[in-house]
Amino acid sequence: MLKQVTESKESLLIGNELIDAHCHLDMFQEPEIIKKDSRLGGLSTIITAGGSRLSSMAAIQVADGEMVFAVIGIDPQNAATDEDFIDEIAGLVKANKKVVGVGEIGLDYKVGPEKLLQMRVFERQIELAKSLDIPIVVHSRGAITDVIALVKKHAVSKALFHFFEGDETMAQELAGLGYLISIPPTESSRRKRVINALNISNISVETDSPVVGKSPLDVIRTVEWISELKGLPFNETSAQITQNVKKLFSL
């Protein structure tokens, strides 16, 4: 699968525009070096996500508004401690053009606090993003069914489903609502069915690095996988995916 990339990585990446739609740049020891390596490796755009008050402020810090953009919010794991940060998000969005969405937000039934609290914090942030007319970046570990129900309940118009773990039926339903399904750097047969079921215009790629991927450059492997499954040239696949994400976040 990686034959082409390893044999002629240079030529494949010339003139390319790759994107990492979800990572945590502030969690790297040296974000500036990661950024530089990513640029040299062919990435034009990185979206770095917060999930607590502290990590949201760090995401804003590390974003430059040119290559790196931030989304800020309270993820389910921090719902019990950081809920009051929600009141500060609108001000931070308005003061910083490089903040382009609310995220990551959602539900986590593996590690999050009690469900009702998680839901309240998620729903408050959905409404906030709607009032600001910016996308949400959704976290849905072990909770995809309830996440879909809430997103539909609030008639969300702009959303990226980060680290999508649902099946192809769910993916198609979400694509039908105009959302992006983000593919992480872990291949599985379920994920393959999801990619096959989706139109390329509803696909995003991400590394969730350094939590899952090693660096934003891990998107190269995922784009190649998608290009093979879709029978499209690598460059066309990367250009289309980058365009999908840029359009969602108005970049």
> Which residues lie near Zn ion (CB under 5 A)?
208
Which of residues 112 and 227 has its CB atom nearest to Zn ion in the complex? 112
Q: How far is the CB of 171 from Zn ion (least distance, A)?
A: 19
Q: How far is the CB of 99 from Zn ion (least distance, A)?
A: 16
The burial of 229, by beta-carbon neighbours within 10 Å (0-12 exposed, 13-18 middle, 19 or more buried), is given as middle
Q: Which residue is nearest to Zn ion (CB)?
A: 208
Radius of gyration, CA atoms only, the chain: 17
- The secondary element (H helix, E strand) that includes residue 106 is strand 99-106
Tokens of 180: 């992006």
Q: What are phi and psi of 63, to 5 degrees?
A: -75, 145
Q: How far is the CB of 73 from Zn ion (least distance, A)?
A: 11
Q: How far is the CB of 209 from Zn ion (least distance, A)?
A: 9
Q: Which alpha helices (H) appear in the chain, and where do they start and end?
A: 3-13, 31-40, 53-62, 79-82, 86-95, 115-132, 144-153, 168-176, 189-197, 219-230, 234-248
Which of residues 208 and 218 has its CB atom nearest to Zn ion in the complex? 208
Which of residues 12 and 245 has its CB atom nearest to Zn ion in the complex? 245
Which of residues 12 and 248 has its CB atom nearest to Zn ion in the complex? 248
Q: How far is the CB of 24 from Zn ion (least distance, A)?
A: 6
- Tokens 């959303």, located at residue: 159
Q: How far is the CB of 49 from Zn ion (least distance, A)?
A: 5
Q: What is the DSSP secondary structure assignment for residue 85, as one 8-state letter?
A: G
Which of residues 108 and 208 has its CB atom nearest to Zn ion in the complex? 208
Residue 69: which residues within 8 A CB-CB, separation 6 or more? Answer: 45, 46, 47, 48, 63, 98, 99, 100, 249, 251
Which of residues 21 and 156 has its CB atom nearest to Zn ion in the complex? 21
Strand order in the sheet with 43-49: 18-23, 43-49, 68-72, 99-106, 136-139, 159-161, 180-183, 203-205
